[in-house]
Amino acid sequence: MIGESIALVVAVLWTTGALFGELASKRLGALQLNVIRMALSLLLLGTALWFMVGHPYPYLADGETWMWMALSGLMGFGLGDYCLFNSYNLIGSRFSQLFMTLASPFAAITAWLMLGERMTLLGILGMAITILGISMSIMGKEQEPRNKDSHSPIFSFSHSFNFKLPFRGIIFGTGAALGQGVGLVLSKIGLEHYTASAPLESGLSTFAYPVGGTMIRALAGLGCFLLLLIAKGHVRRLTTAVRNRQGMHFAFWATLLGPTVGVSLSLLAVQYAKAGVAQTLMSLTPILIIWPSHLIFKTKVTPAEVFGAIIAVLGVTLFFV
C-alpha cells in the first residue's frame, strides 16, 4: 500500500498546487510563471540531490536516460504546463483539473503504441465514461471568460448544444492532459534506463531516481519556456513578474507542491504501485479541488458539475481495472 498512499498524497499536493498556480498565473502571466517555476524547481531539486547523493545533478544518468527524460519534460512541462496555466487563466483551476482526468486515457494509448501494453474493453469503456463525465460538467449555460482580456468564442455545435467554457480553454485543458499522459509514459521509459545505468550500490537512494529524473525534465521544460519567451518578446514581462512579491509567493508554493515534490512523488508512486492504480488515485484532484476552489474563488458549483467530476474519475478508475 506504500505506492497507493504516496499517490493519494500526490493528489492532495496537486490540488493545493493547482490553487496556488491559478493565483500565481493571474498575477504573473502563464509563460512567465512557467519560467519561474522551472527555475525554482531546479534549485529545489538540485538541493535535494546534493543531500541525497552529494551531487546537485543526476550525475550517473546515462545518455538514454537524458534523452527519454528530456522528451518527457518537453511533453509534460513544455506542452502540458504551458497549456495548463493558460487554461487556469481561461477556465480556472477546477475545470482545468477536470480536463486532466484525460491524462490517464492518453497515457494508456501512448503505452499501447510505444510499449505494447494492451487496451481492454473496460479501458475503452472507462475512456468513454471519463469523456462523458467531463461533458456533463462543461455543458450548459454559457459563462463569462475567466480572463477578461480573452475574447475567445464559446464553442457550440448548435443553439441547443453548448459548452459553457471558452473554446481556447477547452483546447488548453485537453493539451495539458495530453502532455501529462504522454510525458508519464516517457518518464517510465527514462526511469527504467536510469535504474539500469545507476544501480543502488552506486550510492543512489531509491527516491533519488525520480528526483534526478524530474530535474532532467525540468531542464528541458525551462529551455522550452525560455525559447518561447524570447520568441514572443516577453523578456521584460519576466523581469516585471519577478518583482511581484505576492505572485512570487504563490509561484513558490505552486512550484514546491507541483513540479518538485508532487511530480517526484508521482514517479515514486509508479515504482511502488501499478501505474494504473497510481494514476487513478492521483486523478482524484478534480473532486478534491471543488470545495476549496469554491471557497477561494467564489465560483458557483452546480450539482451537475460535481456529478460530472465524480463520473470522470470513476471512468479513469474503470480504465485501469
> What are the CA-CA distances from residue 120 to residues 68, 102, 125, 157, 210 (Å)?
27, 17, 9, 31, 29
For the chain, the straight-line distance linking the first and the last C-alpha, in angstroms and rounded, comes to 17
**Cβ(107)–Cβ(189) below 8 Å:** no
Structure confidence at residue 289 (pLDDT): 92
Q: Using CA atoms, how far apart are residues 204 and 245, in angstroms rounded to an integer? A: 37
Give the DSSP letter of residue 76.
Answer: I
Contact 169, 146 (CB under 8 A): yes
Model's pTM, two decimal places?
Answer: 0.83
Rounded to an integer, what distance in angstroms lies between the CA atom of residue 200 and that of residue 9?
25
**Residue in 257, 253, 237, 252 with CA at minimum distance from that of residue 29:** 237
- Residue environment code for 68-107, b if the CB has 16+ CB neighbours within 10 A, otherwise e: bbbbbbbbbbbbbbbbbbbbbbbbbbbbbbbbbbbbbbbb
Contact 255, 44 (CB under 8 A): yes
Residue type, 274: K
Q: What is the pLDDT of residue 149?
A: 47
Torsion of CA 188, 209, 224, 280, to 10 degrees: 40
Among the listed residues 310, 276, 313, the one whose alpha carbon sits nearest the alpha carbon of residue 3: 276
Helix or strand run (H / E) with residue 164: strand 161-166
Average pLDDT of adjacent 10-residue blocks, the chain of 321 residues: 85 92 93 93 91 87 94 94 93 92 88 85 85 84 50 42 80 95 92 82 70 92 94 92 94 86 78 73 86 87 88 80 64
Contact present, 73 and 45 (Cβ < 8 Å): no
Identify the pLDDT of residue 150. 45
pLDDT at 162: 65
